[in-house]
Amino acid sequence: MLAEIKGLNEECGIFGIWGHEDAARLTYYGLHSLQHRGQEGAGIVAAHNGSLSGHKGLGLVTDVFQSGTLDALKGAAAIGHVRYSTAGGGGYENVQPLLFRSQTGSMALAHNGNLTNAIELKLALEGQGSIFQTTSDTEVFAHLIRRSQAPTFVGQMKEALSQIEGAFAFLLLTEEALYVALDPHGFRPLSLGRLGSAYVVASETCAFDVIGATYEREVAPGELLIISHEGVRSERFAPRQPRSICSMEYIYFARPDSHVDGINVHTARKNLGKRLALEAPAEADIVTGVPDSSISVAIGYAEASGIPYELGLIKNRYVGRTFIQPSQALREQGVKMKLSPVRGVVAGKRVVMVDDSIVRGTTSRRIVTMLREAGAVEVHVRISAPPITHPCFYGIDTSSREELIAAKYSVEEIRRLIGADSLAFLSQEGMLEAIGRPDVSPERGQCLACFTGQYPTRIGRAVRPCLTVK
Amino acid sequence: MLAEIKGLNEECGIFGIWGHEDAARLTYYGLHSLQHRGQEGAGIVAAHNGSLSGHKGLGLVTDVFQSGTLDALKGAAAIGHVRYSTAGGGGYENVQPLLFRSQTGSMALAHNGNLTNAIELKLALEGQGSIFQTTSDTEVFAHLIRRSQAPTFVGQMKEALSQIEGAFAFLLLTEEALYVALDPHGFRPLSLGRLGSAYVVASETCAFDVIGATYEREVAPGELLIISHEGVRSERFAPRQPRSICSMEYIYFARPDSHVDGINVHTARKNLGKRLALEAPAEADIVTGVPDSSISVAIGYAEASGIPYELGLIKNRYVGRTFIQPSQALREQGVKMKLSPVRGVVAGKRVVMVDDSIVRGTTSRRIVTMLREAGAVEVHVRISAPPITHPCFYGIDTSSREELIAAKYSVEEIRRLIGADSLAFLSQEGMLEAIGRPDVSPERGQCLACFTGQYPTRIGRAVRPCLTVK
Amino acid sequence: MLAEIKGLNEECGIFGIWGHEDAARLTYYGLHSLQHRGQEGAGIVAAHNGSLSGHKGLGLVTDVFQSGTLDALKGAAAIGHVRYSTAGGGGYENVQPLLFRSQTGSMALAHNGNLTNAIELKLALEGQGSIFQTTSDTEVFAHLIRRSQAPTFVGQMKEALSQIEGAFAFLLLTEEALYVALDPHGFRPLSLGRLGSAYVVASETCAFDVIGATYEREVAPGELLIISHEGVRSERFAPRQPRSICSMEYIYFARPDSHVDGINVHTARKNLGKRLALEAPAEADIVTGVPDSSISVAIGYAEASGIPYELGLIKNRYVGRTFIQPSQALREQGVKMKLSPVRGVVAGKRVVMVDDSIVRGTTSRRIVTMLREAGAVEVHVRISAPPITHPCFYGIDTSSREELIAAKYSVEEIRRLIGADSLAFLSQEGMLEAIGRPDVSPERGQCLACFTGQYPTRIGRAVRPCLTVK
Amino acid sequence: MLAEIKGLNEECGIFGIWGHEDAARLTYYGLHSLQHRGQEGAGIVAAHNGSLSGHKGLGLVTDVFQSGTLDALKGAAAIGHVRYSTAGGGGYENVQPLLFRSQTGSMALAHNGNLTNAIELKLALEGQGSIFQTTSDTEVFAHLIRRSQAPTFVGQMKEALSQIEGAFAFLLLTEEALYVALDPHGFRPLSLGRLGSAYVVASETCAFDVIGATYEREVAPGELLIISHEGVRSERFAPRQPRSICSMEYIYFARPDSHVDGINVHTARKNLGKRLALEAPAEADIVTGVPDSSISVAIGYAEASGIPYELGLIKNRYVGRTFIQPSQALREQGVKMKLSPVRGVVAGKRVVMVDDSIVRGTTSRRIVTMLREAGAVEVHVRISAPPITHPCFYGIDTSSREELIAAKYSVEEIRRLIGADSLAFLSQEGMLEAIGRPDVSPERGQCLACFTGQYPTRIGRAVRPCLTVK
């Protein structure tokens, strides 16, 4: 399951609002609904009376903000960020939005994605005397803007956007406007909505539902939106490429209630489950899903197969940063951390266990073992995506190829390694049809690089999948 | 939904272990899995080298305990408690286990339930010079033990147990033994398990699954277990009454993966949903459940009715004590707190909304309105239990009768008040059959007092449903 | 110096106010000025609208109270307590005021002193079924009140006061009145003041200065004051004994700006220094005092001797509970903790080092060594009190006799043990004259037990100096 | 008194060590002893295995560092900083040492002082595309180094040092060396010491005493020290100017036990007091000093005048960031914050009140009023320095000239404004002689700008006394 690498990937959530007097507070609720996209840090910057002020910290949104800190963030425009990982190091400094003040004006920056030529750009800038305060690739973008000699700020942004490569959804706030930019391939989701006369932007539409906003449209790949008191202006900073939205948004990341590029995630997952039941049926007594991402898939599998859906695995909800991990000794005695099998449900049963992926295989093996120890007589593993065989350079650190079990072993070998009675992956075709995004469509295309190794962009030579700068 | 009164009820979770060198740490994991039964406070007391030591605090288990505090709780026996509410006041003082030290020996006490004659007993004890440090009814039990002139400790406990009335599951730890007692009607669940050579006791079996323990049997109503280095000894402190386990454990409280008195809660809920679909079908496009308790019910309803199950309502997972509530103004503008409708799922749809109960009706009305504002064209409310018409005195504060909407209005009137297109409650017979507990069975009987007003015990004159002592 | 035992003694500070709408807030400032008397915990209980509410915690007054917690303590009457030590164990529970609620009324209790028959009384009360929640002797007093069958509350208090022995200054707050009691020997200081129409009571008069109150008079030994809306009523609960106020209040504990039983502490200390210069002159270049208690003494010594007073030793002001102690290795390399010698001041000088006492001798030896290592060519130690040869049972835990260096060694032997060039103690007569309290005076007598072994009261058989109850 | 402006000034303390395995821990103790120079924030950066790691935070040294955070700062070299004020804004970001990482190497910077051409430099750098992360002038120095094209790091530092003006004492740590630089006028104190084979540098010598280090010599104005494994190398980056050490270091800032440029501060202050007694005698009963800076002065005054030194004013020691300020209403009723008069000492007395300065006059008036309300019959104010008539641009924000009472009023007018019976300032000549630093001496000269308006350096046109950058 992808959750096994969550400590490493770079996925984030961003939210912005322009034109509402409670901008910071609404950003708080928006970020809160995006919390599943990043639990390591959170921040908000608001624009008020010609100046920006912000607050950020390590931890959950509810840890970072108190009523007083929110009240201090006055103004009718704000952007916010939740950060998934501390990869890149630096802790607090790397929490976004990054706020850049200067004698002539300030700007704040929130970024979801991963720049594939960040190191090259950074080395060049440092050679010219620039000082970086963070180890994040996001700061590179700010320096490029400041170094630009273009006469207007929009011109400086476009010049900077033309220099960076990879996956990026940017929100940039100044005293004058909220700027929104999505990379030419549209690797990450980014939606535009309305709340009364205010504009909102968010990584997922669940942030609109929680604040009562209505969905307007997707931000287009290569588009630069300038939202100000004059309304929304749309420009292009790059010619549009075929859409390459990340498959994992549907399979793993996004909240089931979100619509990602117009498609409801729960429904997409149920369809993945139904298709999986057709492609890879199993003789079994119950279907169970690995929470949270595979619950909808399992329900779909159950519906299509007629095998009853039961709660054979439970995720412990309150596992946060302060949870005390069991010692090795206790784990060997059977103490479970995040996931427990439900003995009374699986004992004596043939179980179909639905999961979203197999990365290194260790987690899958652990779950299979867990189910058997709880009495399952057979465990049939069904994966709602094709095998992951290649690393991702667009924001998900599936590390090096050597660690990917599917890069080295056949399905049958993996089955043996994880100890399952049977194992099946969903076909690429099945996945695309279930989600409803044909690969080749310029409008509704999907990034398949981790399954195929065909990367939609150049990958910078010096780049490591996860930007870690010493 | 019952969650609307969670600030008021007295439900708790208890866990005990005897004979394992990591007793406190296992109690931590056990409590953690019982966190849904009480989120206001948590505590653990361990017995080591002839003395008891404890730690407790307000907040979640993971807030209260750090690695260091756990390490300090040495010993091979421990009991723990998670507390639902601060009703009764007193905050920290009332967090359990209560630890009573004396010159001659110490004891710690953890309690799930509600004594119906606590005030009477407390007044009498204070008249004799006793000083209470908490406002909880649990402390009464300790004073009764200390006042008893019986020659043995077991004798003192039995004398005390014979004086108290109502609902109680007690864990009492001394340096010599772990004592376990369940009231004669067995209102609350209490299970016994094994972990290697150690014994464990818990409110729900999910605590066994999480530590890898195996289920042995239920603690019987009126039974007193004495667990010590001599093993388990069973005694009776009262003749057995017909079992009156709380219906709400199945309907609302317990975790879906737990087996309550031998019955899996998820399966029971799916059966409630199936039965509900038969008793109260609806012409609709989707079925959705109010999270978390009604998800399983909704899946069952969908399965039996053929209407697809969709995620029309989402609960925001990370709403804890530090969550900043939206202002009234923001709420009126549509900002949601715990529950949001999923616009893209419900818009234009006829929705079956499955919930566990209607208490005051305000929450149900809010959800119905929410769904309509999100575009639902019809909302059909289905409740997986009969109408609640009477207050509970056994641990759930459904307050006074006047506040219970079903005590004053007909189903049709309630439908109008909550603004639903149709409304149906499950029949009492349907509920009992779906769960699989015939009311009249001495072995598998269920408390129906909140539906019928027929209380299995005397209710003390001066007692208020929720013990609040000035 | 006495500070070396501060982790062990039981000295505390108490403050009470009746008749001011900002009662809790004024108690906060009062406690703050008494912080030197106890830094381990603090608490305040206020009476408002017929009920008591309180807040307490471990740490400094400024750690324990935030603006919000103070605001919550409404009402025109309040008592507060700062606690010196965690001796007796129990941490938070033992922080005072202790608050006792019952169905018929509540009371809060703050205590400075030590009961010498606490264990005897406690054993008897537990034998009758009483349950103690703390390990402090203070709680015994509450139980005696509750057990009393006297018809009035004042009668119950008097009955309880007649049963306890030792040193005690009590503040007891109910909804109706503030009760103030001082033991018949008056071991501890307790002053009465006025702030407009309000009454204030405090361990030291510095608490009056800080809130702008005026001093009225001392609370008399054996006196019980009842302060209510009817004004102040004075009663006696015991015949007056000759005053035995603790010598150490003048020598070590009290703030130099306080007047203890009418005598300014700074002036008393300067007089101790002058007398010491006469009794024990030294050939030296500079006089320096061990901060904080001996600064005034050193100034007096300098004034009388003509030797200049210099800052040869400095106390690091910000050493609180969170200070990280140097490792043994670092200490051996010369890292100082609380006290540092000032090399540039003492190097090459003959130094008179004035201190308040020598308890175990280890601290004195350390300071002498420190001064020599910083270059002092001679160190002449002068102590502003007679040798401490006997343990205290009235609130200062000077431990067992074996640990008292002066109980086992002659002055010359002590000089050698601490490595001083000369050593002198002030004579008992000199001390009494300098402070201005003749020992034998019934009005202005002073407890000399730690110097003479003549205890003004019976010492309970089972009692340990510092009440530590298992 | 100068303390009245402490919220505004920029005074700081710095500490560095090279060549000791407990470098970070010794820096902790060093900073702790310099805490009086800055209480708003603290930080430490250590060099280990070719990389720098740091920890910093808002609050006292003991708040910011826990044992674990210190342990994580491994390595044999470290620098630390305590920060006085948040002027310049930005809070956490501005806490030093500032740590600058780059792909080619890292450096950490700690600064005491104020650059008088910071704004000019900053505007120029931003015009070239540099991004500043803090609002402190310190960061300017780092950018100048990075922009320098000099071939060696020492060359880059010298080029940067030649561009900045004003008061600065810098510690700069890289993996290779500890660099120490003092501005050509030597406005701020900076001493070099030894601890075994290690080198230490600190703002005040009290930091040496606390860790057991020995004093070596002062860092010279215009000197650049390079401390590395090759030992100490001294270079000059500017020709030496006459020394202009800040007078206020002796009068107000430094700890009395420190030697500032070789002169013991307590002794200097006693001499100031003696001289003041000669220049401005008073008919009075007691002498009292405003704590903490004027205690030594008052003792000197008492010694020279024969009037007894008494504790007429007391400073409340535990007033930290968490202290709850009294409301205006309570203050009007007499509640004191930091300073209280001792009624029993001053009542009926003619009081000489010794203070270090009068800035705006409001604090002095408050203290005089306080003393009168406590019963003083006469109050004679004596100031241990000449009148402050001009703003400081070297690190002490005495704000604009309009706010300085002595810039607008005569001594007699000030006397009337503060309500004293008499008022006298020490003469400039008296001050210089008492401290022992003739103004004109190139070796031992003293900055008198705030008394005379004669600034030793050019003051940049755009510069505000306290660098506040929007």
What pLDDT score was predicted for residue A440?
A: 63
Q: Please, which residues have CB within 8 angstroms of residue B80's CB and are 6 or more apart in sequence?
A: B14, B15, B16, B27, B28, B30, B31, B42, B43, B44, B45, B97, B110
What pLDDT score was predicted for residue B439?
A: 65
Mean pLDDT (chain B) is 89
- Reply yes or no: is the peptide bond before residue D184 cis, omega within 30 of 0: no
- Asked if A212 and B256 come within 8 Å (Cβ–Cβ), the reply is no
Residue found under tokens 């030992």: D231
> What value, to the nearest 5°, has the Cα angle with vertex D409 and ends D404 and D413?
125
Q: Please, which residues have CB within 8 angstroms of residue B219's CB and are 6 or more apart in sequence?
A: B169, B180, B182, B190, B191, B192, B201, B225
Distance CA B72, CA B50 (A): 15
- Asked if B212 and A345 come within 8 Å (Cβ–Cβ), the reply is no
- Facing residue for B344 by CB, picked from A70, A264, A340: A264
- Facing residue for A147 by CB, picked from D92, D129, D147: D129
Predicted confidence (pLDDT) per residue in B328-359, tens digit: 888 877 777 778 898 889 999 999 999 999 99
Both tokens of A455, joined, read 């990367």
What pLDDT score was predicted for residue A85?
A: 61
> What value, to the nearest 5°, has the Cα angle with vertex A71 and ends A68 and A74?
150
pLDDT > 90: what percent of chain D? 70
Classify each residue of A97-135 as buried b or exposed e, where b means 16 or more C-beta atoms within 10 Å of its C-beta: bbbbbbeeebbbbbbbbbbbbbbbbbeebbeebbbbbbb
User: Is residue C183 scored above 90 in pLDDT?
Assistant: yes
Predicted confidence (pLDDT) per residue in B24-71, tens digit: 999 999 999 999 898 889 999 999 988 999 999 988 898 899 888 999
Residue B225: C-alpha distances to residues A146, A269, A295, B216, B408 (Å): 74, 48, 40, 14, 44
What sign does the dihedral D321-D324-D328-D330 (CA atoms) show?
A: negative
Predicted confidence band of residue C1 (pLDDT cuts 50, 70, 90): very low
Three-state DSSP state, A248: helix
What pLDDT score was predicted for residue A319?
A: 59
| Residues in chain A within 8 Å Cβ distance of D64 | none
- Asked if D299 and C299 come within 8 Å (Cβ–Cβ), the reply is yes
Predicted confidence band of residue C332 (pLDDT cuts 50, 70, 90): confident
Classify each residue of A38-67 as buried b or exposed e, where b means 16 or more C-beta atoms within 10 Å of its C-beta: bbbbbbbbbbbeeebbbbbbbbbbbbbbee
What pLDDT score was predicted for residue C211?
A: 92
Predicted confidence band of residue D330 (pLDDT cuts 50, 70, 90): confident
What pLDDT score was predicted for residue D103?
A: 77
Count of Cβ atoms closer than 10 Å to residue B57 Cβ: 16
Predicted confidence band of residue B470 (pLDDT cuts 50, 70, 90): very low
Predicted confidence (pLDDT) per residue in A14-36, tens digit: 999 999 999 999 999 999 999 98
Predicted confidence (pLDDT) per residue in A169-207, tens digit: 999 999 999 999 999 999 999 999 999 999 999 999 999
Predicted confidence band of residue C440 (pLDDT cuts 50, 70, 90): low
Distance CA C247, CA C446 (A): 6
Three-state DSSP state, A309: strand
Q: How far is D100 from chain A (nearest CA, A)?
A: 6
| Residues in chain C within 8 Å Cβ distance of D66 | 322, 324
Count of Cβ atoms closer than 10 Å to residue D215 Cβ: 19
- Facing residue for B257 by CB, picked from A259, A303, A342: A342
Residue with the bigger pLDDT between B225 and A68: it is: B225
- Asked if A126 and D147 come within 8 Å (Cβ–Cβ), the reply is no
Three-state DSSP state, D29: helix
> What value, to the nearest 5°, has the Cα angle with vertex B316 and ends B314 and B322?
165
User: Is residue B220 scored above 60 in pLDDT?
Assistant: yes
- Asked if A374 and B209 come within 8 Å (Cβ–Cβ), the reply is yes
What pLDDT score was predicted for residue C119?
A: 87
C41 burial level (CB within 10 Å; 0-12, 13-18, 19+): buried
| Residues in chain A within 8 Å Cβ distance of D156 | none
Residue found under tokens 């190191």: A119
DSSP 8-state class, residue A82: E
What pLDDT score was predicted for residue D462?
A: 36
Chain B residue set in contact with C, beta carbons under 8 Å: 51, 92, 100-104, 119, 122-123, 126, 128-133, 135, 142-143, 146-147, 469-470
User: Is residue C334 scored above 80 in pLDDT?
Assistant: no
- Facing residue for C326 by CB, picked from D29, D60, D341: D29
Predicted confidence (pLDDT) per residue in B407-456, tens digit: 999 999 999 999 999 999 999 999 999 999 876 667 789 999 999 999 99
- Asked if C35 and D334 come within 8 Å (Cβ–Cβ), the reply is no
Q: How far is C313 from chain D (nearest CA, A)?
A: 8
Question: How does strand A378-383 pair with strand A350-355?
Answer: parallel
- Facing residue for B104 by CB, picked from C51, C126, C130: C126
What pLDDT score was predicted for residue B377?
A: 98
Both tokens of C343, joined, read 């090399």
User: Is residue A1 scored above 50 in pLDDT?
Assistant: no
Distance CA D423, CA D409 (A): 13
pLDDT > 90: what percent of chain A? 70
User: Is residue A141 scored above 50 in pLDDT?
Assistant: yes
Q: How many residues does chain A have?
A: 470
Residue C293: C-alpha distances to residues C170, C320, C351, C354, C451 (Å): 26, 18, 18, 10, 19
Count of Cβ atoms closer than 10 Å to residue C90 Cβ: 17
Distance CA A426, CA A410 (A): 14
- Asked if A130 and D132 come within 8 Å (Cβ–Cβ), the reply is no
Predicted confidence band of residue A399 (pLDDT cuts 50, 70, 90): low
User: Is residue D326 scored above 70 in pLDDT?
Assistant: yes
Residue with the bigger pLDDT between C176 and B459: it is: C176
Alpha helices, DSSP H, located in D165-219:
206-211
Q: How far is C177 from chain B (nearest CA, A)?
A: 19
Predicted confidence (pLDDT) per residue in A312-370, tens digit: 998 876 656 667 777 888 887 777 777 889 888 999 999 999 999 999 899 999 999 99
Distance CA B106, CA B99 (A): 7
| Residues in chain B within 8 Å Cβ distance of C122 | 103
Predicted confidence band of residue D88 (pLDDT cuts 50, 70, 90): very low
What pLDDT score was predicted for residue B400?
A: 62
Residue found under tokens 């507390």: B83
Residue with the bigger pLDDT between D122 and A9: it is: D122
Do C and D make contact via 3 or more CB pairs under 8 A? The reply is: yes
What pLDDT score was predicted for residue A235?
A: 97
Do A and B make contact via 3 or more CB pairs under 8 A? The reply is: yes
Distance CA B389, CA D250 (A): 80
Residue B18's region, left for phi above 0, alpha for psi from -120 to 50, else beta, is: beta
Distance CA D228, CA D230 (A): 5
Are D77 and D28 spatial neighbours (Cβ–Cβ below 8 Å)? no
User: Which range among A135-149, D276-290, D386-400 has the greatest average pLDDT?
Assistant: D276-290
- Asked if D211 and C336 come within 8 Å (Cβ–Cβ), the reply is yes
- Asked if D259 and C344 come within 8 Å (Cβ–Cβ), the reply is yes
DSSP 8-state class, residue A144: H
What pLDDT score was predicted for residue B250?
A: 96
One-letter-per-residue 3-state SS of C407-438: HHCCHHHHHHHHCCCEEEECCHHHHHHHHCCC
Do B and D make contact via 3 or more CB pairs under 8 A? The reply is: no
Picking from B69, B71, B62, B8, the residue whose alpha carbon sits closest to that of residue B35 is B62
| Residues in chain B within 8 Å Cβ distance of C97 | none
Distance CA C69, CA C228 (A): 25
Are D325 and D335 spatial neighbours (Cβ–Cβ below 8 Å)? no
What pLDDT score was predicted for residue B437?
A: 87
Mean pLDDT (chain A) is 89
Question: How does strand C245-246 pair with strand C446-447?
Answer: parallel
Distance CA B463, CA B164 (A): 13
Q: Residue C290 is which amino acid?
A: V
| Residues in chain D within 8 Å Cβ distance of A102 | 126, 131-132
Q: In this predicted structure, which of A194-208, A378-392, C118-132 has the lowest mean pLDDT?
A: C118-132
Predicted confidence (pLDDT) per residue in B90-135, tens digit: 577 889 999 998 877 899 999 999 898 988 999 999 999 999 988 8
Distance CA A376, CA A367 (A): 11
Classify each residue of D70-102 as buried b or exposed e, where b means 16 or more C-beta atoms within 10 Å of its C-beta: beebbbbbbbbbbbbbbbbbbebbbbbbbbbbb
Chains with 3 or more CB pairs under 8 A to chain C: B, D
* Whole-complex ipTM: 0.83
C149 burial level (CB within 10 Å; 0-12, 13-18, 19+): exposed
Phi, psi of A68 (to 5 degrees): -65, -40
- Asked if C323 and D62 come within 8 Å (Cβ–Cβ), the reply is yes
Residue D423: C-alpha distances to residues A85, A120, D4, D274, D292 (Å): 64, 68, 19, 16, 20
Predicted confidence (pLDDT) per residue in D71-83, tens digit: 999 999 999 999 8
**Minimum Cα–Cα distance from A91: chain D residue:** D55
What pLDDT score was predicted for residue B130?
A: 92
Distance CA A28, CA D65 (A): 30
Residue D313: C-alpha distances to residues A386, B108, C47, D301, D419 (Å): 79, 52, 33, 16, 17
Both tokens of B187, joined, read 């209102």
Are A157 and A181 spatial neighbours (Cβ–Cβ below 8 Å)? yes
Residue with the bigger pLDDT between C402 and B463: it is: C402
Residue D198's region, left for phi above 0, alpha for psi from -120 to 50, else beta, is: beta
| Residues in chain D within 8 Å Cβ distance of C66 | 322, 324
Average pLDDT value for residue range B379-407: 85
- Asked if D102 and A132 come within 8 Å (Cβ–Cβ), the reply is yes
- Asked if A129 and D130 come within 8 Å (Cβ–Cβ), the reply is yes
Q: Mutation target for C interface from D15, D20, D28, D29: give the one with most C CBs within 10 A.
A: D29
Are C380 and C282 spatial neighbours (Cβ–Cβ below 8 Å)? yes
| Residues in chain D within 8 Å Cβ distance of C266 | 310-311, 342, 345
What pLDDT score was predicted for residue C149?
A: 92
Q: Which residues of C are catalytic?
A: 12
What's the N-to-C CA distance of chain D in angstroms?
A: 30
Picking from B249, B243, B242, B278, the residue whose alpha carbon sits closest to that of residue B263 is B249
- Asked if D103 and A146 come within 8 Å (Cβ–Cβ), the reply is no
| Residues in chain D within 8 Å Cβ distance of C60 | 318
| Residues in chain C within 8 Å Cβ distance of D73 | none
| Residues in chain C within 8 Å Cβ distance of D320 | 62
What pLDDT score was predicted for residue A397?
A: 62
Q: Mutation target for B interface from A60, A210, A295, A307: give the one with most B CBs within 10 A.
A: A210
Q: Mutation target for B interface from C101, C107, C137, C143: give the one with most B CBs within 10 A.
A: C101
Count of Cβ atoms closer than 10 Å to residue A162 Cβ: 12
What pLDDT score was predicted for residue B326?
A: 79
- Asked if A324 and B195 come within 8 Å (Cβ–Cβ), the reply is no
User: Is residue D465 scored above 60 in pLDDT?
Assistant: no
Q: Mutation target for D interface from A99, A133, A467, A469: give the one with most D CBs within 10 A.
A: A133
What pLDDT score was predicted for residue B403?
A: 82
Count of Cβ atoms closer than 10 Å to residue D44 Cβ: 30
Mean pLDDT (chain D) is 89
Predicted confidence (pLDDT) per residue in C245-266, tens digit: 999 999 999 999 999 999 999 9
Residue with the bigger pLDDT between C441 and D36: it is: D36
Do C and A make contact via 3 or more CB pairs under 8 A? The reply is: no
What pLDDT score was predicted for residue D401?
A: 66
What pLDDT score was predicted for residue D439?
A: 64
- Asked if C209 and D374 come within 8 Å (Cβ–Cβ), the reply is yes
Average pLDDT value for residue range A113-121: 90
Average pLDDT value for residue range A428-433: 96
- Asked if C62 and D318 come within 8 Å (Cβ–Cβ), the reply is yes
Predicted confidence (pLDDT) per residue in A219-249, tens digit: 999 999 999 999 999 999 999 788 999 999 9
Q: Please, which residues have CB within 8 angstroms of residue B313's CB and are 6 or more apart in sequence?
A: B288, B289, B290, B291, B339, B340, B341, B342, B353, B367, B370, B371
Q: Mutation target for D interface from C26, C288, C318: give the one with most D CBs within 10 A.
A: C318
* Element at D433 (helix H, strand E): helix D428-435
Picking from B467, B445, B468, the residue whose alpha carbon sits closest to that of residue B164 is B467
User: Is residue C462 scored above 50 in pLDDT?
Assistant: no
Q: How far is A130 from chain D (nearest CA, A)?
A: 6
What pLDDT score was predicted for residue C320?
A: 62
Picking from A401, A397, A396, A448, the residue whose alpha carbon sits closest to that of residue A427 is A448
pLDDT > 70: what percent of chain B? 91
Catalytic residue among D12, D246, D447, D466: D12
What pLDDT score was predicted for residue A305?
A: 96
Chains with 3 or more CB pairs under 8 A to chain B: A, C
Residue B216: C-alpha distances to residues B27, B201, B213, B441 (Å): 18, 10, 9, 22
